[in-house]
Amino acid sequence: EALKVWVSNLNPNDQEYDHHLLEALWVSWGNNEIMLDLLEEVFYSEDYRLRAAAVRVMRYMGAQIPQSEEWLIQAGADPHGQVRLEAIVAASWAGSELAKKTLASAAQWPIDEWMLETYNAIESNFGISISENDEQNKSKDEGVDLEGPDLELYRLGKSIYVKDGYCVTCHQVDGKGIKSAGFPPLKGTRWVLGDEEKLIKITLNGIMGNMEVLGKTYSGKVPMMGFGGLLNDQQIAGVLTYVRNSFGNKSAVISPEKVKQVREDIKDKKGYYLVNELK
């Protein structure tokens, strides 16, 4: 009862609100008495870390949660890999039928290196083949006016974008960013759709400083890291092609050759770009 009162008094406008919800969820789990309304709010959070936590709770407390099967299958299709992985593991505890449904749901997305062993184990244990979904998955590039090598580049970029710790962590699955945390959107902005050389420079070296995006100012207190040392020219071209043709964006493909040229041009540049350097 005390936990319910505490949760009811939380302020949704508090920047620590999500963290408090997560603490409450852990307490309810520890008490062996899940608050379904709390779990539902956490499960539908915009923050993938909360969604993943909700799925973790369902893994152990499914008997108390009437919607657990429906939610696990839904979580299997979550845009963030960490949530999908939690869903797959949780469903594997519940039996072969739920595991099959959840794995099929998750197979809409690329299988990254962190998921591969889990996929292989479940395929072996339950006799499930995800390869049957390959052609179906390739047909899910809805609203993308690309084909051939450009489409393959886009798909490569998508698989990188959704990796934990890469683009999706700050810019989110819908490309809208997180205003409260200072992470700007990618949807409909000149930074993404405009000068491709500037965009490549930002991606290679990162950027810091006050930035105006769609009429709002982002302080840049948490700078964007550079990915030049993590991704090759093909991968960076893929990611930038993906963001320029997703979230309602439609713009020219970025070629690996262009990334290679810009990388060479700025090879002596050390550290982040300042916003003023790119205006």
The amino acid present at 79, given as its one-letter code, is P
Per-residue model confidence (pLDDT) at position 141? 60
Q: Of 276, 136, 256, whose CA–CA distance to 198 is shortest? A: 276
Say how far apart CA 91 and CA 94 lie, in whole Å. 5
The amino acid present at 276, given as its one-letter code, is N
Q: What is the mean pLDDT of each run of 10 residues along the chain (279 residues)?
A: 90 91 94 93 92 95 90 88 89 78 77 72 66 47 81 91 82 84 90 95 94 88 90 96 94 96 96 90
Per-residue model confidence (pLDDT) at position 94? 74
Domain ranges of the chain: 2-137, 143-278
The amino acid present at 187, given as its one-letter code, is K
Q: Of 143, 183, 153, 102, whose CA–CA distance to 256 is shortest? A: 153
Per-residue model confidence (pLDDT) at position 169? 80
- At 1 the three-state DSSP class reads coil
**CB neighbour list of residue 2: distance below 8 Å, 6 or more residues apart:** none
Q: Which residue has the tokens 């049957």?
A: 132
The amino acid present at 56, given as its one-letter code, is R
Per-residue model confidence (pLDDT) at position 267? 94
The answer to whether 124 and 93 are in contact (CB under 8 A) is no
Per-residue model confidence (pLDDT) at position 127? 65
Phi then psi dihedrals of residue 229, to 5 deg: -90, -10
How long, in residues, is the chain? 279
What is Dmax (Cα atoms) for the chain?
63
Per-residue model confidence (pLDDT) at position 142? 60
* Number of CB atoms found within 10 A of residue 267's CB: 9
Q: Which helix (H) or strand (E) holds 74?
A: helix 68-76
What's the pTM? Answer: 0.58
Per-residue model confidence (pLDDT) at position 134? 45
Q: Hey, what CATH class is 143-278 in?
A: mainly alpha
